Amino acid sequence: MGVTIFSGLHDHLRPEAARLYWEAFGGKLGRVLGPDAKALRFFERVIRADLCLTAVDRDGHLIGIAGFKTQGGSFAGGSWADLTAIYGRWGGWWRGRLLWALSGNVDNDRFIVDGICVARDHRSKGTGTLLLAALYDEAARRGYRSIRLDVIESNWRARALYEREGFVAAGTETLGPLRHLLGFAASTTMVRPLTVRSD
- Tens-digit pLDDT profile for residues 2-54: 899 999 999 999 999 999 999 998 887 888 898 999 999 999 999 999 999 99
Domain boundaries, the chain: 4-193
Task: Say what the pLDDT of residue 199 is.
Answer: 56
Q: So what's the pLDDT on residue 186?
A: 84
- Whether this prediction's pTM lies above 0.85 is answered by yes
- The reported pLDDT for the residue numbered 104 is 60
Complete DSSP assignment for the chain: ---EEEES--GGGHHHHHHHHHHHHHHHHHHHH-SHHHHHHHHHHH--GGGEEEEE-TT--EEEEEEEEETTEETT---HHHHHHHHHHHHHHHHHHHHHHHH----SSSEEEEEEEE-GGGTTTTHHHHHHHHHHHHHHHTT-SEEEEEEETT-HHHHHHHHHTT-EEEEEEE-GGGHHHHS-SEEEEEEEE-PPP--
Class of domain 4-193: alpha beta
User: Which of the four pLDDT bands, split at 50, 70 and 90, describes residue 198?
Assistant: low
Whether 180 has a pLDDT exceeding 70, the answer reads: no
Using the predicted structure, report yes or no on whether residue 163 has a pLDDT greater than 80.
yes
Decide if pLDDT at 106 tops 80: no
